[in-house]
């Protein structure tokens, strides 16, 4: 694990999450609440949303970015409960699900 100084260094954390979004889990609480850092993480690995602050898990734009990057639909579990009723967000998650790969073309 990175030392506290590195966990709080925005530039270091941005570089780390750009290579591996799950590195967000080692960032300081302040950087896990930084929208730009979290967006960089979820664009690399959608499940990094799990490690974002509660406020950013409830941010529609961040959630949508993660769900659009998602490959299996599982990222929806890390979206704040109040956003799980958002039709566009749920559709983004469903479209990412592997089950739709096997559906008839007219249902995709």
Domain layout of the chain by residue ranges: 4-107
Q: How much helix, strand and coil, in percent to the nearest 5, is found in the chain?
A: 75, 0, 25
Euclidean distance between CA atoms 23 and 26, whole angstroms: 6
Q: What is the pLDDT of residues 8-66, one digit of tens each?
A: 999 999 999 999 999 999 999 999 999 999 999 999 999 999 999 999 999 999 999 99
Q: Are 67 and 95 spatial neighbours (Cβ–Cβ below 8 Å)? A: no
Q: What's the half-sphere exposure (Cβ side, CA atoms, 13 Å) at 47?
A: 6
pLDDT of residue 40: 98
* Residue 79 DSSP label: S
Whether residue 84 is predicted with pLDDT greater than 70 in this model: the reply is yes
pLDDT of residue 31: 98
pLDDT of residue 2: 58
Q: Are 42 and 69 spatial neighbours (Cβ–Cβ below 8 Å)? A: yes
pLDDT of residue 69: 87
pTM of this prediction? 0.84
Euclidean distance between CA atoms 106 and 46, whole angstroms: 28
CB neighbours of 108 closer than 8 A, spacing ≥ 6? 100
Cβ neighbours of 88 (radius 10 Å): 12
Query: Lowest-confidence range among 28-37, 68-77, 94-103?
Result: 94-103
């Amino acid at each position: 694990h990175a030392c506290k100084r590195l966990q709080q260094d925005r530039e270091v954390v941005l570089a780390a999450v750009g290579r591996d979004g799950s590195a967000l889990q080692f960032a300081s609480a302040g950087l896990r609440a930084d929208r730009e850092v979290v967006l960089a993480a979820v664009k690399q690995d959608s499940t990094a949303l799990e490690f974002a602050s509660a406020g950013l898990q409830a941010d529609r734009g961040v959630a949508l970015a993660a769900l659009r990057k998602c490959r299996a639909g599982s990222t929806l579990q890390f979206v704040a409960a109040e956003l799980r009723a958002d039709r566009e967000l749920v559709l983004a998650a469903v479209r990412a699900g592997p089950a739709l790969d096997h559906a008839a073309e007219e249902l995709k």
